[in-house]
Structure 1
Amino acid sequence: MDEQPEVRASDGDRESAARRLRLAVEDGSLDFTEFDDRLGLAFQAVTRRELDHLTADLPPAAPAATGMVAPLPAAVPRWLRLGWAVWGAAAAIGVVSWVVASVQAACPLEFWPKDLLGPGLVLLIVTVVAARRREAPGR
C-alpha cells in the first residue's frame, strides 16, 4: 500500500492534463465524446493521481507537441487583449452596419469597414512585438 498521501492537483496540473487530452483528440487517439468526458473529469480532479489516470492509456505526446510555445493570449498583456476586443467589436459593428446599409440601398455600397484594417494591422504588430518581448529569455 502507498504510504504517501495523494498530492492535490493544481490548476496548472489540470490545464496540463487538458492540453494532453486535446493533443490526443487531435491525433485521433480519443474521439470527441471520450475527450469531452475526460476533460470534464480533468477539471473536477482533486489529486494528481486522478489526472494521471485520465491520460495513462494515451500514447506519448509527439516531440513537436511537447516543445510548443505558450498560446498567444497568455503571452499578451491585458491591455492588448482589451484592445483586440474593442477592435473586434468595432469591426463587427462596422460590417453589420455596412450590410444593413447595402441591403437598404438595393446595391452593395463601397465596403467602408475596410478602414479598420489599418488599425488592426498596427494592433497585430504591437501584439507580436509584446508577445516576443515577454517570451524573451531573461524575463
Structure 2
Amino acid sequence: MANSPEMRASDVDRDRVAAILREHTAQGRITMEEFNERLEELYKSKTYGELARLTADLPDVDLRHRQVAKPDPAPAAVRGGMHPGMRAAWGAWAAASGINWVIWLIVSVASTHVIYPWPLWVMGPWGVILLMSTVFGDSRRR
C-alpha cells in the first residue's frame, strides 16, 4: 500500500528525513539556519505530506550509497613519518637540551674556565628513553 500524504508519519520516518536534511546541509545545499528551521518543522510534522514539503526543493539522496571518506590504509610509521606525539616529545627534548647547553656555555664563559658538562645528565637519560620508545615503541595508535 502506497503512503498517501494524509497518512501519519512515524518517528522512524522523521529520523530518515532528518538524516536527509543533515546530508544536504553537509553538501552545502542548505545553510545551518535553514537546517535548524526545517528540523524544527520536521518534529512538528504529523503526516507524510508535511514531511515531503520539507525536502520538496532538494534532490533525492540515497543515504545507503552515499560516499564515505576512505580511511588512510597506511599508518604514520609505514608512510615513513613519526607519530605526532613522538615528534613532539623529541622537540621538547631538543629544546630543553639546547637551553641547558646555552646556560652551561654562558656560565663557562663567565667563570673563565670550562665547568663540568652537567647538561649531559639532563639530556642523556631522557634521550635514551625517547630513543628506546622510538625504536621499540608500538607504531599503532592506542
Fold equivalence (TM over 0.5): no
Q: TM-score, normalised by structure 2?
A: 0.41
- Structure possessing the higher radius of gyration over alpha carbons: 2
Q: TM-score, normalised by structure 1?
A: 0.42
